[in-house]
Chain A
């Protein structure tokens, strides 16, 4: 009897933690998203589904921009992370853990602080642009801050390690003898990479994309600090609705809409890329 209870007892603390601090707030928020009212007079649950349609039509620009920035930053992360992870996995030798540690080093500094230091670096007359402008290499009105580029660059920088690690783990597991076998079977270096290493590392890229795209799309710090007023993302809107406007129903509705869109996107993505058939086709 005790033996059969043991697994449940082990899951109890974590389960309770999640139930109280995750499931319960979710239910509360979900009910908020269907309420109407204001802070002064209170909110009533009247199954007000219009919160969803209203907020989505009001903030569709920011929503689309969030998804576009998310895709761009994720793509940039893949392009930057793959070669880095490949290099560490296959050429890192005895220093692999050192290189990985260097990749993670920025995490020891606060996320917001790092983003603010980018603002300092990229300021219109900052240490990068200032000298270039003084030297006449850039026009005086050239700026990086308050552009979509700055936001995507900041997002890419902040979430890069989340892409490097899973790709590294996948590449690290590729047996170097498979590369030799491919070469032995008349594959040149490029072919060996495309037919063997790349397909075997797809699960890592897959995991990396999931771990990056979701938080990047919902991020609001980068848009706030680096994006100025014309590049706000859906995260900024939700934050504003909650903390400035105190419009909890709309904020909650927007949060759930974003969650639903991301989940649907992820499921479609998993269906398309997560099966082995894709790897088989890629290997041919």
Chain B
């Protein structure tokens, strides 16, 4: 767009689709200053599926609204394709948004809803007809163009909202919890659908969600936000397996947080020895002092005898056994007093490994111990 202001020399080869530099947003609420976003830096590549993940009130929606232009940052820069867009109104920004409640125009047909953006840009009539038709085809709504939004199901409305944004071929698409209002089955189907559409149109997607499963399934990269800052930014596997902070560990999936004092180090691996026969090996942890670490529940094995070999070992008492079909979920109180959750896949054994009250041994590979905030 012509309104974009250049912010200096731009290297043509690798310009980020969206870049946020030191973005801060404060609101005045009942005479108090509330800071929703406290210094966010991120860079989203062209064609990337990028998720902003966090609990409600973490600043993810505010961040998205600033990219769309509905809110202006108190400080910092928002750069879309090399141009600073702070101060540019939403109708002059080449990004489109899919609203949480869809915000479809109730007085217009599906066709008119989708055509709205093209008409505002004075697109020739036959091109409007063609592009809206193509887009309704992509979102599987061909033949429903004369319906009113209220005559459609939730999933169909969702796809109209998507088509209405995508038909404009924006440089980036912003999605604000777009699947939040759908039931579980439909949500899962739409996750696959969204990913397919994104591959098909090749547009940068910025996806705001509080649902970690959704973010892990669809994203190329995830930024986990909490209290206005990004706690961790990385690919789903990294965020899941290597949580950078206790918050990320707790927010994404079920995670066991253990702590202890380093007794000795063994070739770069810190060793914690909570009791006789017990050892927690933490690669890359601090050489001394207290260490906090996480272990994912599915990485832990449960047995009645102390494990052999160079693995982590921890003794405990089973406090709860929950059968979940594919998995059995054990809660174990360890000798250190921490509660550890263990998922055991019900692959071969028909019986539970242990019952409530049993003394068991937990074991896992050292590489699955992950020190939180490891320097």
Tell me, yes or no, whether B217 is within 8 Å of chain A by CB. Answer: no
Could you tell me if B105 and A184 are in contact, using CB atoms closer than 8 angstroms? no
Smallest Cβ distance from B111 to chain A, in angstroms? Answer: 10
**Interface residue stretch chosen among B116-124, B323-331, B351-359:** B116-124
Q: Can you name the residue of chain A whose Cβ is closest to the Cβ of B174?
A: A184
Contact flags (1/0) for A242-259 with B, using CB distance below 8 Å? 000000000000000000
Number of A-B residue pairs having CB atoms within 8 Å of each other in the complex = 71
A200 partner residues in chain B, CB cutoff 8 A: 106-107
B168 at the interface (CB under 8 A from A): yes
- Chain B residues, CB < 8 A from A276: 107
Q: Which of B104, B106, B116, B164 contacts A195 (CB 8 A)?
A: B116
Task: With both chains docked as a complex, state the minimum distance between the C-beta of A61 and any C-beta of chain B, in angstroms.
Answer: 42
A284 touches B112 (CB 8 A): yes
Task: Tell me whether B91 is interfacial, beta carbon within 8 Å.
Answer: yes
Q: Is the CB of A186 within 8 A of B107?
A: no
Q: Which residue of A178, A185, A284 has the most chain B CB atoms within 10 A of its CB atom?
A: A185
For the residues of A in contact with B, the DSSP-based class is helix
Contacts of B116 in A (CB 8 A): 182, 185, 187, 195
Residues of B within 8 A of A195 (CB): 105, 116
* B188 CB within 8 Å of chain A: no
Question: A280 in the interface, Cβ–Cβ < 8 Å?
Answer: yes
Residues from chain B with a CB closer than 8 A to the CB of A178 are: 103, 105-106
Contact code string A180-208 (vs B, CB < 8 Å = 1, else 0): 11111111100100011001100000000
Minimum distance in angstroms from A284 CB to a CB of chain B: 7
Contacts of B164 in A (CB 8 A): 185
Size category of the B interface is: 20 to 34
User: Of A177, A187, A280, A284, which contacts B103 at CB under 8 A?
Assistant: A177
Using Cβ atoms and an 8 Å threshold, which residues of chain A touch B104?
181
For B69, the chain A residues whose CB sits under 8 A away are: 183-184
| In the complex, chain B residues whose CB is within 8 Å of the CB of A103 | none
Q: A199–B116 Cα gap in the complex (Å)? A: 14
Q: Known: A187-B91, A188-B91, A280-B112. Is A181-B105 also a contact (CB below 8 A)?
A: yes
Asked if A262 lies at the interface with its beta carbon under 8 angstroms from chain B, I say no
Once the chains bind, are B107 and A199 in contact (CB under 8 Å)?
yes
Task: Let me know if B89 and A283 touch, CB within 8 A.
Answer: no
Most buried by B among A181, A200, A276, A280: A181
Closest to A202 in B: B107
Q: Is the CB of A185 within 8 A of B120?
A: yes
A200 to B120: give the CA distance in the assembly, Å. Answer: 18
- A175-B103, A177-B101, A283-B105 known; A186 vs B112 contact (CB < 8 Å): no
**Would you call A279 an interface residue if the criterion is a C-beta within 8 Å of the partner chain's C-beta atoms?**
yes
Q: A199-B107, A200-B106 are in contact. Are A184 and B112 (CB under 8 A)?
A: no
Is the C-beta of B269 less than 8 angstroms from some C-beta in chain A?
no
State in angstroms the CA–CA spacing of A284 and B117 once bound together: 11
Q: How far is the CA of A191 from the CA of B91 in the complex (A)?
A: 11
Residues on A with C-beta less than 8 A from B106 are: 178, 200
A interface, size bucket: 20 to 34
Q: Are B103 and A180 in contact (CB under 8 A)?
A: yes
Contact partner, A184, options B91, B108, B119, B121, Cβ 8 Å: B91
How far is A185 from B101 in the complex, measured between Cα atoms in Å? 16
**CB-based contact A280/B109 at 8 Å:** yes
Is B37 interfacial (CB-CB < 8 Å)?
no
Name B112's contact: one of A175, A187, A283 (CB within 8 Å): A283
Q: B334 at interface (Cβ–Cβ under 8 A)?
A: no
Q: Is B107 a contact of A177 with CB atoms below 8 Å?
A: no
B147 to chain A, nearest CB (A): 12
Which A residues lie within 8 Å of B96 (CB)?
A: 184-185
A177 and B99: CB pair below 8 A?
yes
Residue pair B120, A186 in contact (C-beta under 8 Å): yes
Of the candidates A183, A196, A279, which one forms a contact with B91 in the assembled complex, judged by CB atoms under 8 Å apart? A183
Q: Which of B103, B107, B109, B119 contacts A181, CB < 8 Å?
A: B103
Contacts of A187 in B (CB 8 A): 91, 116, 120
13 residue pairs A–B, Cβ–Cβ below 8 Å: A175-B101, A177-B99, A178-B103, A178-B105, A181-B99, A182-B105, A185-B117, A191-B120, A196-B105, A280-B108, A283-B105, A283-B108, A284-B112
The 7 closest A-B pairs by CB, nearest first: A185-B117, A181-B103, A186-B120, A177-B103, A279-B107, A183-B90, A186-B91
With A184-B91, A186-B91, A186-B121 given, name 13 new contacts (CB 8 A).
Answer: A178-B103, A180-B70, A180-B97, A180-B99, A181-B99, A181-B104, A184-B96, A184-B97, A199-B107, A279-B107, A280-B108, A283-B105, A284-B112
